A and B are shown apart, each in its own frame.
Chain A
């Protein structure tokens, strides 16, 4: 069974640009969540999507947005990039309908803003 796939693995962008990251969850998983990992702030929850609807949102500015498609694949977008947006962005998927299941993570997209 294929794991969570994130593309691209690495990105270099310039301040002010925007970027789109992609995540394909494990087959059958309908919940997709996104996290930002930085040395200073650690792992922080961005948002969660389920059945194409944003279900939970973390404390990030509106420049961070996401969406989920009918096949459960998800994208996150960051507009007007800032140097502080440089981070490892992790996507996680989990099966729906159970609080007891765990989330499975992809390998992440390393975003560098210059």
Chain B
């Protein structure tokens, strides 16, 4: 079965500094990986995905993620953090045994706190 690990419960970063939110995965076959963000009392917003191709994936709001097959990682990055980026971030992997995008296994989430 597939799984996702987000080793950090919380990441603290100062505004203007680069940020990284870590994610490692385990899946048989080709990984289909996603990052979502959740603001308080809201649903999940899609940020970016890796299906195939370039290892550096660019997404919404200036976020990008680096896929590393040898390390089975898919870390989320942003060159310059904003206070408004403070939220809960989830990494997810799609079940490779289904033919759809909708059966996702999520990590436990990482709370990003950006301070002035």
Contacts and interface: CB of A to CB of B under 8 A. Distances in A.
Interface of A: 4, 6, 31-33, 35, 42-43, 45, 48, 50, 55-56, 90, 92-94, 96, 98-108, 110
11 contacts: A6-B43, A31-B102, A32-B102, A45-B105, A93-B102, A99-B100, A100-B32, A105-B44, A105-B45, A105-B46, A110-B41
Interface residues of B, number: 26
B43 A102 contact: no
B90 A43 contact: yes
B43 A101 contact: no
Interface in B16-74: 32, 34, 36, 41-46, 49, 51
Contacts of A55: 98, 100
A102 B100 contact: no
Nearest to A10: B41
A68 B104 CA distance: 19
A100 B44 contact: no
